[in-house]
Amino acid sequence: MAGDVTVGVVVLTQGTRPGDLERGIRSVLAQQGVILDVVCVGNGWQPTGLPVGVRSLGLPTNLGIPAGRNRGVSLVTGEYLFFLDDDASIPDPHFLIEAIGKMRADPKIGLLQPRVEDPAGIESPRRWIPRIRKGEATSPGRVFSVWEGAVLLPRSVFDATGGWAEPFFYAHEGIELAWRVWDLGLVAWYAGDLVANHPVILPTRHADYYRLNARNRVWLARRNLPVPLVPLYVASWTAIQVLRWAPNNRLALRAWFGGWREGWSHDPGQRRRLRAHTVWRMTWAGRPPII
């Protein structure tokens, strides 16, 4: 397989972490056994000073994380697509070839997310394991959402899903992408034996974290679920947030409900309902799309 595997790589950045960006790009260029086509997308700025062989796409305004990734896809070629955020990196130069080997050995795998570890050895938060029953971080398995900072999938699968959910701007686009992979009759896979590096940073550093999380939960349901499941999914997550924050973080809950209302009152974009068979498969696999 070595030497005949082509990968289009989209690195997304706002230009605020030049050291991390360089580390991430260098980790991609160090990958062995693959032919790379790499673009660095600047969301609201023009990337400069990039290594030889890396193209630059500067977007005049920040279009959001999903839209920025989608713009990069249009500029790269390859049988596979790999998405890397500017604060992530790949420590093993054989990562891509090994990940692609897993996908070729099991054609049912339509999307792959590696295990995420802090490069300084800080204990990784459990949220980086994308499943309800977390288990061991090193244990692989089927999942129904992904951490979006390092994601690999065949380009044909990406195209069939419709790409990243551009209206979301930030948060939960990895859930929709995983759901749509399942809707193609495939599975999203957590590869606990492969590693990406990312520093442990609180997601609440984003000013709109609570609002966008709530809005996009509602939009996720409205865009993808059969009508009877929409209120069930939103209600279950509403209950979770109330239980989580009502006792000691009422300001967060207030911001969250502001986004919740926005999710119902604003257009979420194109609706693409999951098939009944997909809902059954997800339920049989342990994650009915109401939680």
Give the residue from 56, 86, 88, 51 showing the smallest Cα distance to 71: 56
List the domain range (segments joined by +) for residue 221: 204-272
Q: Report the CATH number at residue 77.
A: 3.90.550.10
137 and 170 part of one domain: yes
Both 104 and 10 in one domain: the answer is yes
Verify that 174 and 252 share a domain, yes or no: no
> The pTM is what?
0.95
- Cβ atoms within 10 A of the Cβ of 198, count? 20
Residues 219 and 144 in one domain: no
* pLDDT band at 163; cut points 50, 70, 90: very high
pLDDT value at 1 more than 60? no
Q: For residue 72, tell me if it sits in a domain.
A: yes
Mean pLDDT of 27-54: 96
- Dump pLDDT digits (tens) for 78-112: 999 999 999 999 999 999 999 999 999 999 999 99
Q: At what angle do helices 173-183 and 276-284 cross, to 10 degrees?
A: 100
The answer on 188 and 69 residing in a single domain is yes
Confidence at 4, pLDDT banded by 50, 70, 90: confident
Q: Which of 201, 219, 235 is the last residue of a domain?
A: 201
Domain membership of residue 289 (yes or no) is no
Last residue of a domain, one of 180, 201, 222: 201
One-letter-per-residue 3-state SS of 159-186: HHHCCCCHHHCCCCHHHHHHHHHHHCCC
Per the domain annotation, does 42 fall within a domain? Answer: yes
- Write out the DSSP string of 93-127: TTHHHHHHHHHHH-TTEEEEEEEEE-TT-PPPPGG
| 130 and 36 share one domain | yes
Number of domains in the chain: 2
Q: Which of 184, 201, 218 is the last residue of a domain?
A: 201
Going by pLDDT thresholds of 50, 70 and 90, the confidence category of residue 205 is low
Residues 126 and 256 in one domain: no
Q: What CA–CA distances, in Å, run from 104 to 3, 20, 79, 108, 271?
A: 15, 31, 12, 9, 31
Percent of the chain at pLDDT exceeding 70: 97
Segment 234-256 mean pLDDT? 88
Same domain, 88 and 159: yes
Return mean pLDDT, the chain: 94
Q: Within a 10 A sphere around the Cβ of 25, how many other Cβ atoms? A: 23
Same domain, 161 and 230: no
In a domain, 231, yes or no: yes
Residues 157, 141: one domain? yes
Q: Judge if 135 and 235 occupy the same domain.
A: no
User: Do residue 255 and residue 138 come from a single domain?
Assistant: no
